Amino acid sequence: MTGPVRGVARPVLGPVGRLLVVGDVVTDIVARHRTPIAPGTDTAAAIRAVPGGAGANVACWAAYWGCPEVRLLGRVGADSAAWHEAALTRAGVRPRLVVDPEAPTGTVICLVDGGAGAERTFLTDSGASLRLSPEDWAPELLDGVAWLHLSGYLFFAEPSRAVAGVAMAQARARGVPVSVDPASVGFLREWGVGRFLAAVEGVTVLMPSRGEAELLAGVGAGAVADSAVALSRLFSVVVVTAGAEGAVVARGGEVVGRVPSVGVCARDTTGAGDAFTGAFVASRVRGVGLVGAVGEGCRAGAVAVGRVGGRPPES
């Protein structure tokens, strides 16, 4: 089957493995504007409300990319719990959504420049998503799991950071690989690079974007390979995504692969990194090699930028 971007197809299913994603489930309000935002007055835009959240998006893309055994742990408000559960189930994900008795589901306003590049800016109210706590965790969530992925947003609040730590420790005790995407340059800078690096120590695969990698590695802008190499001295594998420039893979202090992007006309870059991550982890669970899995991630990212919102098309 082919995706909505010409020439980009989903892979043929291989051996089945289980993936557990722990992360955020939010409602995205996507506003695509073709002219600069005019302060103090109106700016015409196409606006849609769609299910989102980095963790939920990764889970959906992993299922779409050939990993049918995908579980998701997240926290939502009663206001939209049923809507999110239905959307995740349709995407092939097995959701375990904790309904928060007080906080509403998180909401993200995605301002998307409809011009070349379709760059986006987020206004984020995390709501219930970062109220996930160790009380919401159960060790049996890891039963039969071949890979654990943690959304980086979990690390920016105390309750969710605690559950991430519990999940990571139990996964490592079982020999389950763990991946983390750092999620947000703004939140990383606010919380502190050193604190984040300490919190994710021992992660198997770190998957930052170019900006996140440069911030975490303390290198200058544009130094994608340098940041990947520096971070690979702290983590087993580092995969740095660089948008139209593809991705760089580093291990043990050296670059071991460079994968080009798939050229497409971008409509909305929201969720492109989540698509990359979902396809990468799905491919690794299916036994695809490291660089090959990065290539699958680039292909999924090309599908994502051709769509509005952060989720894959429904089959």
In 3D, which of 195, 132, 141, 199 has the Cα closest to residue 170?
141
SS3 sequence of 261-309? CCCCCCCCCCCHHHHHHHHHHHHHHCCCCHHHHHHHHHHHHHHHHCCCC
d(CA 214, CA 40): 35
The amino acid occupying position 29 is I
Active site residues: 274
What value does the CA radius of gyration of the chain take, rounded to a whole number of Å? 18
d(CA 228, CA 246): 13
Contacts (Cβ under 8 Å, ≥6 apart) of 135: none
The answer to whether the beta carbons of residues 55 and 107 sit under 8 Å apart is: no
The answer to whether the beta carbons of residues 43 and 172 sit under 8 Å apart is: no
Locate all alpha helices (DSSP H) within 19-143, ordered by sequence. 54-64, 81-90
The answer to whether the beta carbons of residues 160 and 131 sit under 8 Å apart is: yes
